[in-house]
């Protein structure tokens, strides 16, 4: 009897374990706005990230003042390339360290959330006309997934809107750590 | 300053118990340590514990790009076969083999334990998560090893040998899914 119970317990444990497999994941709702210089070149991308309720709560409960928390977030994010890789026609664009950022408490749908805004500057300004800009968000720790949901959250602005078309395509069955959306700005028209 | 966080401790604590390859290996190595028993149980357990910590450190500073899950499952298979064979624990080479397996198992378990890092809470989440994972692995191994040690001679050791065969089956099952790239 004891043998049977042992075998069944072990088998049950091993069968249940895979279904219970779940790491910590969180979502960030992202908005990106292209910023141009006087020569109508792309010089930076202004991003706003709204953390989900769970992570907003965890960050707020850390007890740090918002400015200190913001500094800590940006210091850590700089080590992780701001979860962002920019491409022009598939080739990676080099970016600079973020110096302008803010962290605010906001209320959305009666939820207390944190909104991080920052400007990601390009190392060298680029002409977008005739090119496709790609925005790829991945977390090396496979915890965060950044979503735009639709093109309303990809703002081309007055300079680029005349010849650029934003596009957001959801990736079906994306794996943790992979970009959940293909985000691009097509300026070939 | 690093403070205790139950959220990250629990997340780390559950990681080895919710990851099939970790669970299979830690059950396997614990049963093997218990089966071999004797004066070597404490030594092998300490070797395993220190190797897990060493694995955490190596993973953090070097992040070696190895297929840890595959290694974990192959190790589990090897460990389970040794349980089934029930080798004579007094033989010097068996003692060495079990000690080496404890060290390698600990190292790979540690290497495959990557904490979750939320930017802004880096150090806090990191250390709480690792602490949880270490407590979980060590507590599971102590518990299973002691139970195995107590029942190692019942029915001439058949109980542990049959458990060993089940661990081998489980390891083969998950290994097959891994090699055929089927997700659980």
Q: Rounded to whole angstroms, how far apart are CA atoms B170 and B184?
A: 13
Q: Do B184 and A141 touch (CB under 8 A)?
A: no
Residue with the larger pLDDT of the pair A11 and B111 = B111
Q: Is A72 close to B23, i.e. CB distance below 8 A?
A: no
Q: How many domains are contained in chain A?
A: 1
Mean pLDDT of chain B: 87
Residue A55 lies in a domain: yes
Establish if A112 belongs to a structural domain.
yes
* Mean pLDDT along residues B95-108: 92
Angle at CA of residue B170, ends B81 and A18, nearest 5°? 145
Report the phi/psi class of residue B48: left, alpha or beta, with left for phi > 0 and alpha for psi in -120 to 50: alpha
Inter-chain residue contact B27 with A24, CB threshold 8 Å = no
Q: Which residue has the higher pLDDT, B121 or B44?
A: B44
Q: Is position A169 within any domain?
A: yes
Q: Which of A6, A17, A26 comes nearest B159 by C-beta?
A: A6
A46-85 pLDDT, tens digit each? 999 999 998 998 888 777 889 999 999 999 999 889 999 9
* A18 within a domain of the structure (yes/no): yes
A68 within a domain of the structure (yes/no) = yes
Q: What is the pTM of this model?
A: 0.65
The pLDDT of residue A20 is 40
| Backbone torsion region of residue B155, taken as left when φ is above 0, otherwise alpha when ψ lies between -120 and 50, otherwise beta | left
The secondary structure of chain B, three-state, reads: CCCCCHHHHHHHHHHHHHCHHHHHHHHHHHHHHHHHCCCHHHHHHHHHHHHHHHHHHHHHHHCCCCCHHHHHHHHHHHHHHHHHHCCCCCCHHHHHHHHHHHHHHHHHHHHCCCCCCCCCCHHHHHHHHHHHHHHHHHHHHHHHHHHHHHHCCHHHHHHHHHHHHHHHHHHHHHHHHHHCCCCC
And the tokens for A8? 């069944």
Chain A residues in contact with B158 by the CB 8 A cut-off are: 3
Neighbours of A127 (CB within 10 A): 12
- Residue A15, pLDDT > 60, answer no
Full domain range(s) for residue A167: 7-187
Residue A6 pLDDT greater than 60, yes or no: no
Q: Do B116 and A14 touch (CB under 8 A)?
A: no
pLDDT digits (tens, 9 = 90+) for B129-147: 899 999 999 999 999 999 9
Q: A1 in a domain, yes or no? A: no
Q: What percent of chain A has pLDDT over 70?
A: 87
From the candidates A5, A8, A17, A144, which should be mutated to test the interface with B, based on the most B CB atoms within 10 A?
Answer: A17
Per residue in B142-184, pLDDT (tens digit) is: 999 999 999 988 888 899 999 999 999 999 988 888 888 665 5
Q: Is A2 domain-assigned?
A: no
Residue A77 belongs to some domain of the structure = yes
């Amino acid at each position: 009897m004891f043998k049977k119970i042992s075998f069944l317990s072990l088998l049950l444990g091993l069968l249940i374990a895979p279904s219970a497999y779940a790491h910590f994941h969180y979502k960030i709702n992202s908005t990106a706005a292209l910023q141009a210089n006087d020569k109508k070149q792309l010089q930076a991308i202004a991003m706003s990230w709204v953390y989900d309720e769970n992570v907003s709560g965890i960050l707020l409960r850390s007890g740090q003042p918002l400015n200190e928390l913001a500094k800590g977030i940006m210091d850590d994010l700089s080590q992780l390339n701001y979860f962002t890789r920019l491409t022009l026609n598939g080739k990676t664009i080099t970016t600079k360290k973020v110096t302008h950022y803010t962290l605010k408490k906001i209320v959305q749908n009666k939820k207390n959330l944190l909104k991080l805004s920052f400007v990601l500057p390009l190392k060298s300004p680029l002409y977008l006309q005739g090119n496709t800009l790609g925005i790829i968000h991945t977390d090396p720790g496979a915890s965060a997934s950044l979503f735009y949901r639709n093109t309303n959250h990809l703002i081309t602005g007055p300079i680029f809107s005349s010849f650029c078309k934003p596009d957001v395509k959801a990736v079906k069955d994306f794996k943790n750590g992979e970009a959940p959306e293909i985000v691009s700005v097509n300026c070939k028209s | 300053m690093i403070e205790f966080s139950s959220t990250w401790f629990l997340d780390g604590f559950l990681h080895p118990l919710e990851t099939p390859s970790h669970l299979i290996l830690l059950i396997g190595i614990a049963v093997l340590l218990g089966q071999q028993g004797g004066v070597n149980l404490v030594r092998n357990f300490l070797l395993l514990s220190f190797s897990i910590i060493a694995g955490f450190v190596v993973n953090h500073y070097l992040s070696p790009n190895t297929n840890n899950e595959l290694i974990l499952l192959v190790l589990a298979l090897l460990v389970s076969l040794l349980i089934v064979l029930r080798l004579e624990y007094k033989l010097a080479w068996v003692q060495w083999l079990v000690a080496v397996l404890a060290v390698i198992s600990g190292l790979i378990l540690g290497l495959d334990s990557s904490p979750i890092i939320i930017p802004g809470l880096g150090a806090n989440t990191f250390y709480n998560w690792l602490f949880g994972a270490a407590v979980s692995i060590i507590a599971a191994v102590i518990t299973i090893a002691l139970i195995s040690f107590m029942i190692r001679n019942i029915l001439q050791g058949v109980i542990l040998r049959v458990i060993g065969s089940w661990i081998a089956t489980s390891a083969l099952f998950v290994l097959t899914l891994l090699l055929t790239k089927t997700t659980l």
